[in-house]
Structure 1
Amino acid sequence: MLTDTHCHLADPVLNPNLPAIFADAAQAGVCRFIVPATQRSDFDAVLALARHPHVHIALGIHPWFAEAAADADLACLGTLLQQHPRALVGEIGLDFYGKQQTAAQRARQNELLCAQLELAEQHRRPVILHNLKATAAIVAAIRQTGFTQGGIAHAFSGSLEEARLLIGCGLKIGIGSLLLNPTAQKARRAAAELPLAHIMLETDSPFMLKNQTNTPANVRKIAETVATLRGIALTEIAAQTEQNVAQLLAFQTA
């Protein structure tokens, strides 16, 4: 069995076709899914997916929506985390890509991240972290808030040194669809060289694939690529990454 630890099944591109998406995933051996929210307006759609027995959800506000996020949105998130004790916190994080960002915009992202890390710590939930060109700031935010619940550094595309910093903060490293691009050298090196105990598999569907809709079934291709890069069997990749997912979700039965 394999798990897609990051798929946006509430997205309008995927949501109307869930029976077929689940069937295709099952045929590929992908039988569990973690679905994050990105803003308050999709909390309800993500919550609705929790009725599926193999779907685990996360609630949070993505850094792309930091400027529009209000205190009421954070209050809503806190209430929903209280009401849904099996929900992770995510997709949260920082996105510092692009020279057009102002210092004030980055500061607002950081403020929102810290507030959500504090909620996650309060409710003892792991997080799903978006990180683009912001590893040092994310590590600083984790240390500043005293966050200790772990989670996933999603869609990793950085250096081994960055990965080790994030692992030192208790995070697993999300290896995703970028790996299917033969020129993605940093992602491929991370998949090949990081300890397997610190790796998660994900698609970030429906995104990340050029000119086609990504789906959770592609986790199998990602797992096969990791196995090839490491020179080990697919069964070994599946066994260890599923153990990693079980550790991530252990809070649900604590």
Structure 2
Amino acid sequence: MFTDSHCHLADAAFAGCLPQILHQARQAGIHRFIVPAAEAADWPAVYALSEASPDILGALGIHPWFAEQAESGCIEKLSRQLQRQPEMWIGEIGLDYHRSRSEEDRAKQRDLLSQQLAIARQLNRPVILHNLRSSNDLLALLKQHGIRRGIVHAFSGSLEEAEAFIQQGLLIGIGSLLLNPTAKKARRAAAELPLSSLVLETDSPFMLANSTNTPANLRDIAAIAAELRGISLSELAQQTEKNIDSLLTVNR
């Protein structure tokens, strides 16, 4: 049994077919789903999904792609929502220096992230982190706010970067990049990083070039990760589930 630690089930791509998508995933042995938001407009749908099913865990936040469009008062609204919903995580938040090239845009991302990390620290919630070409600044902000619980999702960096996040207490999300045989960094991370620091994800419905990604694909991702490590699927499942469970005690 596996957890898809990052799947956007509230995305419009799944509108009208989500029951079938979830059924297929459960048939493939995926028993739990962590669903992040990307912007404030997603929060009601993510919350509704988490309320409707005990195996769906939601996260509320503002993705760095939406930093410039973030409305005044959104941080206060996020804090109020999370205080009313103690089971919710914070995500998807982070930095993306690949998409935003100007220092002005990057500064806006850092400011928005800093405010959301402050809420995570105050409410003691795990975070789901987006990181593209921004590891140094992301680590600096995590250290500044004392954040030591969460997931760096869709990891595609070096082992040295991963180890720095692990030292900070974060888990590393390994996902659909493994389906690409040429994704050497992701495959090396899956093979060589400590199993105690890994979780699995699809990032569905994204990451596949010619089709809609779904949580059922986590089974194939897990099979590749297990083969790369030379371990059984059951051993991989046992440890990655333990890793997810370590984040679930919200108010410790």
TM surpasses 0.5: yes
| Other structure's SS at 1:8 match | coil
Deviations 1:207-246 (A, max 9, x none): 0011100000111111100010011101100000011111
Code of the aligned partner of 1:96: Y
- The CA distance in 1 between the partners of 2:128 and 2:209, in whole Å, is 24
Code of the aligned partner of 2:103: A
* Correspondence 1:178 to 2:170: no
Residue 166 of structure 2: aligned partner: 167
Code of the aligned partner of 1:16: G
- The CA distance in 2 between the partners of 1:43 and 1:93, in whole Å, is 17
Deviation at 1:81, TM superposition (A): 0.5
Deviation at 1:145, TM superposition (A): 2.0
| Other structure's SS at 1:58 match | strand
**What TM-score do you get using the length of structure 1 for normalisation?**
0.97
Segments of 5+ residues of structure 1 without an aligned counterpart are none
* Correspondence 1:155 to 2:154: yes
Deviation at 1:248, TM superposition (A): 1.4
Residue 111 of structure 2: aligned partner: 111
**What TM-score do you get using the length of structure 2 for normalisation?**
0.97
- The CA distance in 2 between the partners of 1:245 and 1:144, in whole Å, is 24
Aligned-pair identity (%): 56
- 1:71-110 to 2 correspondences below 5 Å: 71-98=72-99, 101-110=101-110
- 1:199-210 to 2 correspondences below 5 Å: 199-210=198-209
Code of the aligned partner of 1:137: D
Code of the aligned partner of 1:209: L
Segments of 5+ residues of structure 2 without an aligned counterpart are none
Residue 212 of structure 1: aligned partner: 211
Residue 138 of structure 1: aligned partner: 138
Residue 187 of structure 2: aligned partner: 188
Residue 48 of structure 2: aligned partner: 48
| Other structure's SS at 1:249 match | coil
| Other structure's SS at 1:152 match | strand
| Other structure's SS at 2:13 match | coil
Code of the aligned partner of 1:65: F
- The CA distance in 1 between the partners of 2:167 and 2:71, in whole Å, is 31
Deviation at 1:70, TM superposition (A): 2.8
The count of residues paired between Structure 1 and Structure 2 equals 251
Deviations 1:4-37 (A, max 9, x none): 0000000011132111011100111001000000
Code of the aligned partner of 1:127: V
Residue 67 of structure 2: aligned partner: 66
- The CA distance in 2 between the partners of 1:4 and 1:135, in whole Å, is 24
Residue 9 of structure 2: aligned partner: 9
Deviation at 1:146, TM superposition (A): 2.5
- The CA distance in 2 between the partners of 1:229 and 1:244, in whole Å, is 19
